[in-house]
Amino acid sequence: MANHKSALKRVRSDEKKRIRNRYQHKTTRNAIRDIRSSEDKAEAAKKLPVVFSMIDKLAKKNIIHKNKAANLKSSLSKFVAA
C-alpha cells in the first residue's frame, strides 16, 4: 500500500484517468463498429471525420499507438470507399 500522501493521490488520479481512458476507447470502438455495420455509403462517409477525430485524440493521449491509429483510419477509409 502507498506510504506517502502523494502516492495516495497518485492512486486516486490514476484510477480516474483509467476510467476516462476506458470510456473514450470504448466509445471510439463503438463508433468504428457503427461505420462498419452501416449499409449506406453516404451515412458512413458523413460519420468518418468524427471517428477520425476520435481516433486522433486517442493516439495523441497515448491511449492507442499512433501506428494503430493510422492503420484504423486507413482501413476505415478503404472500407467506406469500397
| CB-based contact 68:29 (threshold 8 Å) | no
Local confidence pLDDT in tens for the 82 residues of the chain: 678 999 999 999 999 999 999 999 999 999 999 999 988 888 899 999 999 999 999 999 999 999 999 999 999 999 998 8
Using CA atoms, how far apart are residues 11 and 6, in angstroms rounded to an integer?
9
Q: What is the pLDDT of residue 53?
A: 95
Q: What is the pLDDT of residue 39?
A: 86
| CB-based contact 61:21 (threshold 8 Å) | yes
Q: What is the pLDDT of residue 18?
A: 96
Q: What is the pLDDT of residue 26?
A: 96
CA distances in angstroms from 3 to 6, 12, 14, 16, 17, listed in the order given = 9, 14, 16, 20, 21
